[in-house]
């Protein structure tokens, strides 16, 4: 839920990166963290297992700049991708303003993408949101790998409502900021509607 | 569709800060925070210093959400208070509707005192927040006239 503080002149919005296990959600955040000036971002909090799999969530506050005299702060979250962490995923979607679905472009992960997208729709619904109405971006990650599905086929299978589709290689930063920009833009446009 | 934004006006913000300042004094706490259940920090009072209040707010909300999930699994609606006691510093969290009152304290205070004082202000904070949540996203909102150029300028 967007939170606007007139006293400190701040807008705070919540963006959640969703997707199947090992699709690169944390890598997106890590890249943003590594390439942003320290004064524009807070700590990257990672609640991960010993093997670096996200256990509960990753979190990073990011300040983008000023709009109409208000500082815009985006709180970026990832969910744990593994199927059995569904209860945690639901919790993290509470109060969400925008969602990025990170799809794994590899052929063998197609079923996992579809399952995770279905799970996203279901979990949004359980929190009272509708994927068709919420700011939303589809990121096709790992475009540098050999065994990938063509963009058109991925979009045909995963695109839900004409949302922006961004090709990415999160590990090297390709498409990471384009994705963030696409979703942030939609969130701020929603604010204009009130 | 996303939820309606919460607008915190200047006067309301200062009213909340005043309640938190009083609570901090009465409970001999180090820091007192008010956090939204989604993890947004609303206001804080006390010896904030180098404390990363944004992360603390997010983790407190995650903590309450996780224990709330556990509560529901055993047939409870939620756990209205959570306490974490450390060797020197401790945290007490109370759930007040969609707000979390987070109190950081050390051996200058005690869990009993913190619990008592938070309970005493919870009704007042709940009432204040009801008014805030009922506030309109009115025409004088600076965002009604936001342009595509304004948004683009954030990324240039």
Which residues face A73 on adjacent strands? A12, A63
Q: Please provide the CATH number assigned to the domain covering B10-153.
A: 3.30.450.30
> Inter-chain contact B38–A98, Cβ cutoff 8 Å?
no
A46 within 8 A of A54, measured Cβ to Cβ = yes
Write down the domain spans for chain B: 10-153
pLDDT at position A108 is 97
Q: What is the ipTM score, two decimals?
A: 0.87
pLDDT per residue as tens digits for the range A71-121: 999 999 999 998 889 999 999 999 999 999 999 999 999 999 999 999 999
Length of chain A, in residues? 194
CB proximity B140 to A under 8 Å: no
A:90-129 residues touching chain B, CB 8 A cutoff:
90-92, 94-98, 129
Helices (H), chain A: 25-34, 86-92, 110-126, 151-158, 176-193
- Chain CA centroid to CA A105, Å: 16
Interface contact B36-A95, CB threshold 8 A? yes
Site of tokens 């922006």: A164
Delimit the domains of chain A by residue range: 3-193
d(CA B48, CA B91): 14
Bigger pLDDT: B136 vs A164:
A164
d(CA A119, CA A88): 12
Upper half-sphere CA count for residue A9 (Cβ side, 13 Å)? 8
Distances (CA, A) of B130 to A35, A179, B78: 40, 36, 20
- Average pLDDT, stretch B78-95? 96
Instruction: Say which CATH superfamily domain A3-193 falls into.
Output: P-loop containing nucleotide triphosphate hydrolases (3.40.50.300)
The tens digit of pLDDT for each residue in B94-136 reads 999 989 999 999 999 999 999 999 999 999 999 998 888 887 6
Residue B134 touches chain A, beta carbons under 8 Å: no
Q: Which of A6, A64, A189 sits opposite B154 (nearest CB)?
A: A64
- Asked if residue B156 has pLDDT above 80, the reply is no
Can you tell me the distance from the alpha carbon of A79 to that of A14, in angstroms, rounded to the nearest whole number? 13
Residue A187 φ then ψ, to 5°: -65, -45
Gap between the Cα atoms of A8 and B9, Å rounded: 10
β-pairing verdict for B41-46 and A45-48 = unpaired
Output A67 or A140, whichever has higher pLDDT: A140
Q: Considering only residues 128 to 157 of chain A, which have any Cβ-Cβ distance to chain B shorter than 8 Å?
A: 129-130, 133-135
Pick the residue of B143, B146, B149, B156 with the most A CBs within 10 A to test the interface with A by mutation: B143
pLDDT over threshold 80, residue A194? no
| Average confidence (pLDDT) over A161-180 | 97
The minimal CB distance from B55 to the residues A42, A129, A181 is found for A42
**What whole-number distance in Å separates Cα of residue A59 and Cα of residue B40?**
12
3-state helix, strand, coil in chain A (%, to 5): 35, 30, 35
**Alpha carbon of B41 to those of A183, B34, B100: distances in Å?**
22, 6, 9
Radius of gyration for chain B, computed over Cα atoms and rounded to the nearest angstrom = 17
* Sequential DSSP letters for B32-77: EEEEETTS-EEEEEE--TT--HHHHHHHHHHHHHHHHHHHHHTT-S
């Amino acid at each position: 839920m967007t939170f606007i503080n007139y006293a400190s002149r701040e807008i705070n919005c919540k963006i959640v990166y969703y997707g199947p296990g090992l699709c690169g959600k944390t890598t997106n955040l890590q890249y943003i963290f590594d390439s942003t000036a320290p004064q524009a971002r807070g700590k990257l909090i990672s609640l991960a297992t010993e093997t670096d799999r996200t256990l509960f969530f990753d979190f990073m506050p990011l300040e983008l700049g000023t709009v109409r005299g208000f500082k815009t702060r985006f709180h970026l979250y990832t969910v744990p991708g593994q199927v059995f962490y569904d209860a945690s995923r639901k919790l993290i979607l509470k109060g969400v303003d925008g969602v990025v679905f990170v799809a794994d472009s590899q052929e063998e992960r197609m079923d996992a993408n579809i399952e995770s997208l279905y799970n996203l729709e279901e979990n949004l619904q359980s929190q009272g949101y509708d994927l068709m109405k919420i700011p939303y971006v589809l990121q096709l990650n790992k475009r540098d790998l050999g065994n990938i599905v063509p963009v058109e086929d991925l979009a045909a299978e995963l695109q839900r409502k004409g949302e922006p589709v961004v090709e990415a290689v999160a590990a090297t930063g390709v498409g990471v900021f384009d994705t963030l920009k696409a979703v942030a833009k939609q969130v701020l446009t929603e604010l204009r509607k009130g | 569709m996303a939820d309606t934004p919460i607008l915190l006006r200047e006067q309301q913000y200062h009213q909340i800060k005043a309640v938190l300042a009083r609570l901090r004094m009465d409970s001999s706490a180090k820091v007192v925070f008010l956090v939204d259940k989604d993890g947004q920090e609303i206001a804080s009072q006390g010896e904030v210093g180098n404390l990363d209040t944004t992360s603390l707010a997010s983790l407190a909300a995650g903590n309450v959400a996780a224990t709330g999930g556990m509560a529901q699994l055993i047939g409870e609606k939620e756990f209205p208070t959570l306490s974490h006691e450390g060797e020197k510093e401790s945290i007490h969290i109370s759930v007040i509707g969609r707000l979390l009152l987070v109190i950081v304290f050390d051996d200058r205070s005690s869990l009993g005192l913190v619990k008592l004082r938070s309970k005493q202000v919870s009704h007042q904070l709940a009432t204040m927040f009801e008014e805030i949540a009922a506030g309109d996203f009115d025409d004088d909102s600076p965002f009604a006239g936001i342009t595509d150029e304004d948004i683009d300028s954030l990324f240039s």
